[in-house]
Structure 1
Amino acid sequence: MCENLNKQYQLCEELGRGRFGVVRRCFSAGTGDSFACKSIDKRLLLDTTDRECIDKEPKVLHLLGGNPHVVQIHALYEDDNYLHMVMDLCDSPDLFDRISNHGGVFSESEAFSVFSPLISAISYCHRSGIAHRDIKPDNVLFDSRGMLKLADFGSAEWFGMNERRTMTGVVGTPYYVAPEILSGGEYNEKVDVWSAGVILYIMLAGVPPFYGETPAETFEAVLRSNLRFPTRIFRSVSPEAKDLLRKMLCKDVSRRISAEQVSRHPWVVTGGETRSMADLS
């Protein structure tokens, strides 16, 4: 273990384990504050793509520092065998677990309480010229106060702030990946809007909008992008929520709204509370 890391932080129990390393709870030796230490075993990196992903995440997090809904990196240590990132501690169940354990669909106000900070984080990333490219419930974390933190920027890409450039490369996760990524061509940051739309659909419906029995069948369903609102499931979902979903899960990227436009949509502005025009007058 890195000598400087051990001088500054006390490593404690394991919180999670991934393909390349482990996440542990840790405490600052100076302040006693709690953090998470993500330790990557560089000996497990099999190719240059893996290495690029590992190198990219701390750089992206430094660029995005300061937003309350993006996980923050507090210290970085590296030796011959390991890369250690000291980050915000998010020890509450992530969104994947919350959806799995919810026992039913979310009400619109419950969905809004998750969706609003998520789209705020995505908008901030896009204003900073960063596309996440792997928005999914597993990467939507919560700290002990319940504050949402968007995490895992290993697949993120810089697309620029003024002269915005398109991106290439197949990244993402079945169910959540945008169709233009699967098509193998160029795409822009609106792939994150699509993925956030899938998350909102799942919270309101309890099922993904596009799925199959295998990853290949799921990809085919995503490419078709035949968005439906089954009456049995969406009977109690407001027209405003369905309108937002149509605009986020639009296969035509030129017609798909941006993250900033999502934040100004009536469903978001009213906090997921549907009101008639008479109520607003």
Structure 2
Amino acid sequence: MYEMSITQNIVTLCDYITHISHHTSTLRPSYSELEVRDYLWQVLSAVEFLHDKQILHLDLRSENIIVTEHKLLKILDFGSAQYYLPDKLVTLRRYSDYLETMAPEILEGQGAVPPTDIWAVGITAFIMLSADLPFSGDQGSELEKGIKKGVVRFGRCYAGLSGGAVRFLQSTLWANPWGRPSAADCLKMPWLQEAGLATLQEPPVIFPSTKLRSHLHERRRREASVHAAAAQKMQ
């Protein structure tokens, strides 16, 4: 059975777009690209603020992004956050339970930079716009190889995705960190500048919620297995 992560009327981002509201476990049949775009605008606005303060979050998984009753996003869990200085290498421990959002520069041991957070936002965006991961391999060493190669499987995205959405994914999931846009640059993209505005010229692009729910359920199952295996080793 699928379980929604809910605490005190707040839910995680991906859970929110697959359910009717905070107060019910009723499942939504679909969600739209417009909704995803509006939420990404909020996430990137928060990331821009953090980077302006020279703070890297370094754990921008969807589980750490919640939606309040008023559809406002909040970023949680600053346990991995670090101050960033251009002349200082920011190191980050590797956690096997969220390998899927780790940028190539972390896996290569090159350290974290502001574009590392942009990569994580790109991964979250890809998951919402495809209900899949952007790289070959589902977990472990195969997934790590896929991330390092940096070959994004855009064929996994939902059919009908707008050109603006595809360009956003292409730029944020660039293998070379310095080839990715800053949070401020992302917010200047035409696709995101339209966030919150009615787009009467285009019909809404709608995605089924069932595939995303299945993806989230499988991801949580894998994470639980990783934690169980780690706990067994400690005994």
- Normalization by structure 1: what TM-score? 0.59
Against the structure 1 CA distance between its residues 190 and 105, is the aligned structure 2 distance closer, same or farther, given a 3 Å change threshold?
A: farther
Q: Secondary structure at the match of 2:128?
A: helix
Q: What pairs with 1:86-101 in structure 2 (closer than 5 Å)?
A: 91-98=9-16
Which is richer in helix?
2
CA distance in 2, matches of 1:252, 1:105: 34
Q: Secondary structure at the match of 2:74?
A: strand
Against the structure 1 CA distance between its residues 264 and 275, is the aligned structure 2 distance closer, same or farther, given a 3 Å change threshold?
A: farther
For the pair 1:249 / 2:167, whether they are aligned, the reply is no
Q: 1:182 aligns with which of 95, 102, 107?
A: 107
- 2:65/2:75 contact within 8 Å kept: yes
- Normalization by structure 2: what TM-score? 0.70
Q: Which runs of 5+ in 1 are unaligned?
A: 1-15, 17-24, 26-89, 277-281
Task: Give the corresponding residue for 1:237.
Answer: 161
Q: Secondary structure at the match of 1:149?
A: strand
Larger RCO: Structure 1 or Structure 2 (Cα < 8 Å, ≥ 6 residues apart)? 2
- 1:105/1:203 contact within 8 Å kept: no
Against the structure 1 CA distance between its residues 96 and 235, is the aligned structure 2 distance closer, same or farther, given a 3 Å change threshold?
A: closer
Aligned pairs, how many? 186
Matched-pair identity in %:
27
For the pair 1:219 / 2:144, whether they are aligned, the reply is yes
**Deviation of the 1:227 alpha carbon:** 1.0
- 1:250/1:256 contact within 8 Å kept: yes
Q: What pairs with 1:128-277 in structure 2 (closer than 5 Å)?
A: 128-160=53-85, 165-171=88-94, 173-230=98-155, 233-271=157-195, 273=199
Which is richer in strand?
1
Q: Secondary structure at the match of 1:237?
A: coil
CA distance in 1, matches of 2:46, 2:190: 19
CA distance in 2, matches of 1:252, 1:240: 21
Against the structure 1 CA distance between its residues 229 and 95, is the aligned structure 2 distance closer, same or farther, given a 3 Å change threshold?
A: same
**Deviation of the 1:171 alpha carbon:** 4.1
Q: Secondary structure at the match of 1:174?
A: helix
Q: Which has the larger radius of gyration?
A: 1
**Deviation of the 1:159 alpha carbon:** 0.6
Against the structure 1 CA distance between its residues 105 and 246, is the aligned structure 2 distance closer, same or farther, given a 3 Å change threshold?
A: farther
- 1:197/1:249 contact within 8 Å kept: yes
**Deviation of the 1:92 alpha carbon:** 1.9
Q: Secondary structure at the match of 1:175?
A: helix
What's the CA shift string for 1:235-261, capped at 9, x where partnerless? 301111111111100001221111111
Q: CA RMSD in A?
A: 2.6
- 2:14/2:128 contact within 8 Å kept: no
CA distance in 2, matches of 1:142, 1:176: 20
CA distance in 2, matches of 1:164, 1:270: 36
